[in-house]
Structure 1
Amino acid sequence: METVNDPADSPAVDFGDEQLTERMGIQITSWDPDRVVGTMPVKGNRQPYGLLHGGANAVLAETLGSVAAALHGAPERIAVGLELSCTHHRAAREGTVTGVCTPLHRGRTTATYEIVITDEDGKRTCSARLTCVLRERPPGE
């Protein structure tokens, strides 16, 4: 398993400039084709009631699933999100949440992943499912 601090170090993923992941404080802590793990702080990602924003969970889930799909499709294909579904089970108010992404289906044209997000006590806060379309890499990229 490869452990990285900066997902931009992967030849399969090009994050470019001004990434949402940086603004959200998301860090990819480990990845391989069968499992991608990342963390995100609750602080700075709360909604007005002081709880982790549901949209922040969605950003973490889509980030992890997209990285996994990009690893699966590389180098011939790129991954583009098609559908994201999130179920929020319990609130996180502080600390860091961790997302673990595992494949449900990896095909030639689509890839679907389950992303389980837990709080620092290991309690599930969100279950997500992401499907990505795998498209041919444009010439010259």
Structure 2
Amino acid sequence: MTEHREKILSICNSICKNTLMETLEIEYVDVGENYLTARMPVSPKVHQPDGVLHGGASVALAESVGSAASYVFLDAKEFFVRGIEISANHVKSVQEGFVFAKASIIHKGRTTQLWEIKITDEEGNLVSNCKLTTIALPRK
């Protein structure tokens, strides 16, 4: 991994202190030219009552990685980013291990961005497919 990529991941992980991302133990683990990947442990902390990953935790992971990707690929000094819509289709249950969320840009407009976030298990099986729309608002 290049020094630049390591710096981006370090920044993404450092800004998660005292946030939902820290509570859910989300860690940013990979970045490329047009994607950002995070992982989250699946444990009772993120289970629904029947012992599988809660869909809300998956959506929190998806929005976290999609919003962070917007900051990485936009000029964060000029804009702040907000998620304005998210949808998710959950297709597989997970009881333990890690899930990985990879946010890839579909549309990079000046104001709105559209992200596809695929959440997979440790074997690469699709767990959830999410779509996130973000908006970049100018800093005053």
The TM tier, using the shorter chain, reads 0.7 to 0.9
In 2, distance between residues paired with 1:38 and 1:77? 22
Contact 1:38 1:98 in 2 (8 A): yes
Show the counterpart of 2:92: 90
In 2, distance between residues paired with 1:18 and 1:111? 27
In 2, distance between residues paired with 1:88 and 1:96? 16
Show the counterpart of 1:31: 31
Shift of 1:121: 1.5
Show the counterpart of 2:57: 56
- In structure 1, what residue type is equivalent to 2:38? G
In 2, distance between residues paired with 1:66 and 1:58? 12
Query: Which one has the bigger helix percentage?
Result: 2
- In structure 1, what residue type is equivalent to 2:40? M
Shift of 1:33: 5.0
Secondary structure, in 3 states, of the residue corresponding to 2:134?
strand
List alignment gaps of at least 5 residues for structure 1: none
**Alignment partner of 1:115 is 2:117:** yes
In 1, distance between residues paired with 2:109 and 2:10? 28
Secondary structure, in 3 states, of the residue corresponding to 2:28?
strand
Distance 1:96 1:82, change over 3 A: same
Shift of 1:18: 2.1
Shift of 1:73: 2.5
List alignment gaps of at least 5 residues for structure 2: none
- In structure 2, what residue type is equivalent to 1:35? Y
In 2, distance between residues paired with 1:91 and 1:124? 10
| Moved beyond 2 Å, runs of 4+ | 3-6
Deviates more, 1:27-36 or 1:122-131: 27-36
TM-score normalized by the length of structure 1: 0.87
Contact 2:39 2:98 in 1 (8 A): yes
In 2, distance between residues paired with 1:80 and 1:48? 31
Shift of 1:68: 1.0
The CA RMSD over aligned residues, in Å, is: 1.6
Contact 1:37 1:101 in 2 (8 A): yes
In 1, distance between residues paired with 2:138 and 2:10? 28
TM-score normalized by the length of structure 2: 0.88
Secondary structure, in 3 states, of the residue corresponding to 1:92?
coil
